[in-house]
Structure 1
Amino acid sequence: MRPEVHVFIADGPLPDQDADEEEIDRRDGQLGAIHRPVTGEEARALVSCFGPDDCYGVAWTLLHLIETGPNPVLTTPPSPDANEWQHTLWRRIVNGGLAPGGVTA
């Protein structure tokens, strides 16, 4: 795993929208330092970094970064209590025809 990916993962999940601007900018900068595409190992590890909300769009950046890796990064549906971003990623995998399950809303 590349050092910049390891650093991002080591800082844990993205903060919520109540975090200070410096923290959100720092995490966004960490994502920007990760060159695309990511490896399968990196993509699977990055899935654990979604926070409780969209973190002013940073969660979308993370999702798009994960999608640059070999797909599908998720091969089974997330558990019902999984983060909403994992469910979004799963829906995109199914809707893209990368996993069985038909089109989901």
Structure 2
Amino acid sequence: MRPEVETFVADGPLPGRDASEDGIDQRDRQLAAISRPVTSGEAAALATCFGPDDCYGVAWTLVHPIETAPSPVPQWKAAGPEAGDWAEVLRAR
């Protein structure tokens, strides 16, 4: 797994709407640093990082690299317990 993906995953699920603006911006910058496409393993790891809500749109940004994985493995199965509706978004797309 590439270092930028490891860094993002190590910081855990995306924060909720009550997070600081700096914290949300940091997670957005971390996502921007991940070049596409991602590997299937990276996509599965990223799928565990959805938080309790859309994190001011950052959750949508997280969907995009996951969708670039080459494997037909359904990434929504890897989604963590916080994923909620985001697992359904991945399944449907």
Q: TM-score range by the shorter chain?
A: 0.7 to 0.9
The structure that is helix-richer by fraction is 2
- Unpaired runs of at least 5, structure 2: none
Return closer, same or farther for 1:52/1:65 CA change in 2, 3 Å cut-off. Answer: same
Runs (4+) off by over 3 Å: 75-78
**Higher relative contact order structure (alpha carbons within 8 Å, sequence separation ≥ 6):** 2
Structure 1 counterpart of 2:24: 24
Does 2:45 align with 1:45? yes
Q: TM-score, normalised by structure 1?
A: 0.78
> How much does 1:73 deviate?
4.0
Return closer, same or farther for 1:15/1:4 CA change in 2, 3 Å cut-off. Answer: same
> 2-side partners of 1:36 and 1:26: how far apart?
19
Does structure 1 retain, via aligned residues, the 8 Å contact 2:76–2:90? no
- Unpaired runs of at least 5, structure 1: 93-105
Q: TM-score, normalised by structure 2?
A: 0.87
Return closer, same or farther for 1:75/1:16 CA change in 2, 3 Å cut-off. Answer: closer
Structure 2 counterpart of 1:87: 88
Structure 2 counterpart of 1:7: 7
In the alignment of these two chains, the number of paired residues is 90
Structure 2 counterpart of 1:57: 57
